Amino acid sequence: MVKNSFISIISQEENKENRGSVEFQVVSFTNKIQRLTSHLQLHKKDYLSERGLRKILGKRQRLLAYLSKKTRVHYKEFKELIDQLEKKKLEYIIKNSKN
């Protein structure tokens, strides 16, 4: 399980005041999803965690739908930012797994 998360570090620095914003909630749900996914890879029969993962996925999906309806331009920028952070995280994991 990977403890280092670029998304959480960046989001906490930028959003110390806006913890209730939709963007911050989406980022925090994304972090939870990543943690639960890695947990479920180790513990395949943990059905309660799987149920929690499904609930969080639904919440994040509803928040993203709300954000896309609210402001399309802001949604596209936010989605690009999340994708860039995911790529950086994958590059970091691949780089550290080689060592």
Q: What's the rounded Cα separation, in Å, for the pair 52 and 2?
A: 20
Span 31-84, pLDDT tens digits: 898 899 889 989 999 999 999 999 999 999 999 888 888 877 777 888 888 877
Q: Is residue 3 part of a domain?
A: no
pLDDT at 93: 64
Give the domain range for residue 55.
22-97
Q: Are 22 and 59 in contact (CB under 8 A)?
A: no
pTM: 0.66
Q: Is residue 83 part of a domain?
A: yes
Q: Is residue 60 part of a domain?
A: yes
Q: Is residue 9 part of a domain?
A: no
Q: Is residue 40 part of a domain?
A: yes
Q: Which CATH number characterizes residue 83's domain?
A: 1.10.287.10
Q: Are 11 and 85 in contact (CB under 8 A)?
A: no
Q: Is residue 14 part of a domain?
A: no
Based on the structure, what is the number of domains in the chain?
A: 1
Longest pairwise C-alpha distance within the chain: 44
Greatest mean pLDDT among 8-12, 90-94, 95-99: 90-94
Q: What's the rounded Cα separation, in Å, for the pair 62 and 32?
A: 16
